[in-house]
Amino acid sequence: MDAHARNAYSAVTPRIADAVRKIAGAKNVLVDDDKIQAYSHDETNAEKYGHMPELVVLPTKAEQVAEIVKLANREHIPITPRGAGSGLSGGAIPLFGGILLSLEKMNKIVEFDTANMVIVAEAGVVTNDLANLVQEKGLFFAGYPMSLQTCMIGGNIAENAGGGKAVKYGVTGRYITGLELVTPTGEIVWLGGKLSKDVSGYDLKQLVIGSEGTLGIVTKAIIKLIGHPTAKSDLLVLFKTARQAIDMVPIIMSKGIVPTSIEFMDQLSIITSCRYLNESLPYEEAGAMLLIEVDGTNQDQVESDLIAIGDLCEEHGAIEVYVAEDRNTMERIWNVRRNIAEAFKVYSPVQSLEDIVVPPSSIPEIIPELEVLSAKYGMKIPCYGHAGDGNLHATLVKEPSMPMETWHTAEVACLRELYQITRRLGGKISGEHGIGMKRKSYLKELADPVELKLMQGIKRAWDPNTIMNPGKIFDLADA
Amino acid sequence: MRIIVPIKQVPETSNVKMDPVTGTVIRAGVETVVNPLDLYALEAALRLKAQHGGTVTAITMGPPPAIKALKEAVAMGCDDAVLVSDRKFGGSDTWATSYTLAQAVRKLGAYDLIIAGERATDGDTAQVGPGIASWLDIPIATYVARIGALAEGRLTLERLVEEGYQQLSVPLPALLTVVKEIAVPRLPTLRGKKAAKHCDIPVFSAENMGLDPSFLGLKGSPTKVVKIDAPKVTRGGKTVQAGDDEAVSAAVGQLIGFLEEKGLV
């Protein structure tokens, strides 16, 4: 922890708490330990990364957010914005205590503008609810990462969330055309608008997207919608080797068909998940699997794309190509992919879930490196994820017999090596989960120093008193 | 060995909505799937074929879109399929349905075995399989969990019964309904899908089967739905409050007493 920064902040005194109550209403302010406990962690390991806030506030309007930020800025109190707390990098953890500002009560749809194919929503709207709402009108929020069903639009924007459909639809940021931001000095500003084009100055909106709440608090967003695909089908393809599976990705993409997802699973992931699910696929023979989804608005087109991809896989040595065209069968094959993490939790709950990203063609080079790391550090490292965009969940799993002290040292050393390999292959340490506090020290080691300096300069310009989600991505003290 | 597998298209259950006025399932615009329990019957049939040789024919009664279910059966490995379809069959209850399907089986000619799912997930009656056997006057074994040896025209079976398993030997031809334990259904393959795409599926109608119209459809169905209503769930919970350590042990005592009373501990 950045001790210097910590000492530099003021405490949330009863006077400050009263001032916050005055702004947001007493019922929207929590100070009792048992009530604020839930806000001390996200989906990362609470014991390792969790930290208690001093006060939690649940504002209901952007104006309240602005007043609270002004107060924090004036009094030099750290403020941490939070959505659903489903993050995987510690981004919403109040590392220096202070005020935790949860957007959960700002959960209204402001406007559903079908003429412009946009929906304007407050940051605390649950993304799954928004996706269901627009689907009733035949529309689709293609930037929905489909992660935890509790995640909120504000959190998706803060992390620029990705997910399984990025091959075809890209990530959250592609669909955010405008946003309302409360700056770290407490001003309210609209960036972007209901626009498809906008080069009127710097694209500050894109700078905010993925900034992990360090450049301000997003309170509303304008979300671009597209037509909802009415047809979809899946292929589950078994290959002898990981290289064969990965080599298929450019072969498929170069045929002019863009699948919605191309998910990769290595042998260890497949075996663990299939055994956990009692799934009878002939997984023992498979060195790797691809799960390929195709969608569209024309059933015949989807079917012909599916067959074309399946034929290509067979021509290139697939052991077997399974087809899923109804919901039950699709659910069955997606279950194998979705349950990998859960299956490993049963094996050993102590893990480090990673989301490295490399150029897709480098994936086969990662696999043997993981085997080397696995043997060297005595842990299991299954590898699965979004092959279509090179984003892999190489997960460090502690062997149940390994003592915790050994694990703590081994995890750090192994992650460092994994990230170095990733960088050597032209990749980055996080493709969709973010840096937060979990990967901060590694970013410092691995990022280009010039890039880091530019980022720190932006942070200083936007947040002169360093009160907005401090201690995330990088420390200014390192500059 | 010739095996016939009757299957059914049912609404995909995660999206089922009920009409609050009529109390019936809203089928318009709802995605359909092969009745999940029929997949086990298909798997059992395909395994028997692999063991003893022969053919597997899937058959379904329904409107023309039901052909999708038959194509999926072919994609899993069935050799051929038959659609039993006619406006006159609309509104059939289990009596009329099993009559119609039995006549379709007759039209198919000689067979050794009919394997059906335990029941359909929409109607939930489990009557059509046994009904077909009755119309055809052949032996029936329901809730079959394991299929054993075939010798001298008899098949050894194990039925899942409340107390355990019942072993049977049935002479063929016979009809079996199978439970999930029988085998995990295989997934359709690309090869199978392509075969299904080009597979010609004949349609059996009331006319080309030469059926007695008074046995068909709504008119031929003795079951009349008089009224449908949703039962009220009256599951009353009891909360045991415990504010401090002393109250906790009293509460635990109460809970143990409750479980003992119900014979659960």
Are B141 and B265 contained in the same domain?
A: no
Are B160 and B85 contained in the same domain?
A: yes
Domain that holds residue B261: 231-265
CB-CB contact of A69 with A181 (8 Å): no
* Residue B39 pLDDT grade (very low, low, confident, very high; cuts 50, 70, 90): very high
A157 dihedral zone (left: phi>0; alpha: psi -120 to 50; beta) = alpha
CB-CB contact of A88 with A353 (8 Å): yes
* Residue A3 pLDDT grade (very low, low, confident, very high; cuts 50, 70, 90): very low
The residue among A329 and B242 whose pLDDT is bigger is A329
What pLDDT does B251 receive? 87
Q: What is the CATH number of the domain that holds B78?
A: 3.40.50.620
User: Most A CBs within 10 Å: which of B182, B186, B193, B198, as the mutation test of the A interface?
Assistant: B193
Are B252 and B166 contained in the same domain?
A: no
Per CB-CB distance under 8 Å, the chain B contacts of A300 are: none
What pLDDT does A1 receive? 44
% of chain A at pLDDT higher than 70: 98
Distance CA A292, CA A167 (A): 11
Beta carbons of B75 and A307 less than 8 Å apart = no
Beta carbons of B75 and A326 less than 8 Å apart = no
% of chain B at pLDDT higher than 70: 97
| Average pLDDT of the residues in A54-74 | 98
Q: Given a cut of 90, is residue B24 above it in pLDDT?
A: no
Q: Given a cut of 90, is residue A473 above it in pLDDT?
A: yes
Phi, psi of B90 (to 5 degrees): -60, 140
Are B173 and B260 contained in the same domain?
A: no
The residue among B39 and B234 whose pLDDT is bigger is B39
* Residue A78 pLDDT grade (very low, low, confident, very high; cuts 50, 70, 90): very high
What would the pLDDT profile of B204-219 be if each residue is shown by its tens digit? Answer: 999 999 998 899 998 8
* Residue B22 pLDDT grade (very low, low, confident, very high; cuts 50, 70, 90): low
Residue type, A299: Q
Is residue B101 in a domain? Answer: yes
H/E stretch holding A374 reads helix A363-377
% of chain A at pLDDT higher than 90: 84
The verdict on B52 touching A (C-beta cutoff 8 Å) is no
Residue with structure tokens 């009224």? Answer: B227
Are B91 and B189 contained in the same domain?
A: yes
What pLDDT does A7 receive? 61
Are B169 and B200 contained in the same domain?
A: yes
Class of domain A3-105: alpha beta
Distance CA A124, CA A152 (A): 6
Q: Which of A363, A345, A328 is nearest to A239 (CA)?
A: A363
Per CB-CB distance under 8 Å, the chain A contacts of B192 are: 323
Residue with structure tokens 């304008």? Answer: A222
| Average pLDDT of the residues in A279-286 | 86
The number of distinct structural domains making up chain B is 2
Beta carbons of A327 and B31 less than 8 Å apart = yes
Give residues with Cβ within 8 angstroms of A386, minimum separation 6: A162, A163, A164, A166, A167, A261, A262, A263, A264, A392, A431
Are B210 and B237 contained in the same domain?
A: no
Per CB-CB distance under 8 Å, the chain B contacts of A286 are: none
The residue among B31 and B52 whose pLDDT is bigger is B52
Q: Domain residue spans in chain A?
A: 3-105, 109-227, 231-340, 348-440
Distance CA B2, CA B8 (A): 20
Q: Given a cut of 50, is residue A4 above it in pLDDT?
A: no
| Average pLDDT of the residues in A147-165 | 89
Q: Which of A281, A307, A308, A333 is nearest to B192 (CA)?
A: A307
Nearest by CB: A322 against B14, B36, B188: B188
* Residue A5 pLDDT grade (very low, low, confident, very high; cuts 50, 70, 90): low
**Fold (CATH) for A348-440:** Alpha-Beta Plaits (3.30.70)
CATH code 3.40.1190.20 for A231-340: no
Are B258 and B190 contained in the same domain?
A: no
What's the mean pLDDT when you consider all of chain A? 93
In the A/B pair of chains, how many CB contacts fall below 8 A?
52
Beta carbons of A326 and B33 less than 8 Å apart = yes
Are B40 and B140 contained in the same domain?
A: yes
Residue B25 structure tokens: 């399932």
**Fold (CATH) for A109-227:** 3.30.465
| Average pLDDT of the residues in A248-274 | 92
What pLDDT does A89 receive? 93
Are B143 and B208 contained in the same domain?
A: yes
CB-CB contact of A23 with A64 (8 Å): yes
| Fold match between domain A3-105 and domain A348-440 | no
What pLDDT does A2 receive? 47
Q: State the CB neighbour count (10 A cutoff) for residue A242.
A: 23
DSSP designation for B231: P
Q: Tell me the C-alpha to C-alpha distance, in Å, between residue A424 and each of A416, A427, A432.
A: 12, 7, 19
